[in-house]
Amino acid sequence: MRPTRAIVRLDNIVHNLGVAARLAPGSKNVPVIKANAYGHGAVEVARALAPHAPALAVAFMDEAVALREAGIDHPLLVLQGPSARSDVELAAAEGFWLMLHRPGQVDWLANVRLARPVTTWLKVDTGMHRLGLAADEIPPALARLESRGNVHGDVVLSTHLSRADETDQAFTREQLALFQSLTLPHERPRSIANSAGILFWPEAHAEWNRPGYMLYGQCPSNTASPSGPTAELRAAMTMQSAIISVRDLAPGEGVGYGQRWRAERPSRIGTVAIGYGDGYPRHAPSGTPVWVRGCRAPLVGTVSMDMITVDLTDVAGADVGDEVELWGEHVPVNEVAALSGTIGYELLAGLTGRVPLTT
């Protein structure tokens, strides 16, 4: 069998949720497991986190339905809310929580007859300008929802921070001030902090937080101090494969498509069974590290669909069959992403179906 696999440490994900809870002890956390739990396996992650959280969050209704069909009966917050009026009835039947972000969705929930009320959140636009109600839309939305009997408990007022990963960003302070001015008169529970808000903006800690990327052991900021709160996070995924071929190159010989890398010394080159068809970034440049036999070795040459090549010249004893870590405990996924001109979120969520997840 092909040696490529992603090893997921569910206990580390639970640990990282505990870090979020310790950083914001006055908040309740809704762990975000959208996009297949950022590539870590939504069903398995949901089972691990459900005992530790009042609800879990997904992006859209299809993700929530898939979890229900897999036997996950925990409350699920649907962050994009309903896409049609029938989704409101489905949410009531299945116990989904709904985030509403436009007046049309408010109308659907206000006007439908439901067997039971739905836990409801309202998204407020404070400057990210993707989703959310404008300031003048908040009072009528609350009035309509809370007068019809279709809402369970208090409506939660929520917003999303667009630059919280920049640890000293004036725009985040503007968003926080605007959200406070818009919501304080309504005396409803609030939700502001994503992972970056939890880690770097204590003033964003409200009644509800929504940790996502940090759950998987990753820092959402490239500017944060490694000795800060992110130091407690534990990487949840090890992307792993193995060397399937080794050969010696003379100085001047090239490797891979286009021979974009050529040996400057007698070199020992290993071929590893992973490529962009698995989700390894095609634009990873020569020099991107992998971990083999207890040390780092550089990627050399162009990433192929199924394989990469690495320089093993300085790795004593490396040979066919040796395990290779592409990212994980020894090679942070953020480092691989930065070298490849992207972000760790994309690498984790972009694993393809060719990569089996093992826990």
Catalytic residue annotation: 34, 257
3-class DSSP state of 302: coil
Indicate the DSSP class of residue 285: P
Cα separation, 63 vs 83, in Å, equals 13
Tell whether 305 is in a known binding site. Answer: yes
Query: Within the chain, where are the H helices?
Result: 10-23, 34-39, 42-49, 61-69, 85-94, 103-111, 138-147, 170-183, 195-200, 333-339, 344-349
Cα separation, 325 vs 93, in Å, equals 44
Tell whether 113 is in a known binding site. Answer: no
Q: Given CA atoms 268, 277, 10, 343 in this order, what sign does their dihedral have?
A: positive
Count the residues in the chain.
359
Q: Nearest Cα to 154, choosing from 138, 166, 142? A: 142
* Mode of pairing for the β-strands spanning 5-8 and 357-358: parallel
CB 219 within 8 A of CB 233: yes
Cα separation, 225 vs 285, in Å, equals 26
- Say which amino acid occupies 31: P
Q: Which residues are annotated as a binding site?
A: 130, 305
Q: Which residues are annotated as a binding site for substrate?
A: 130, 305
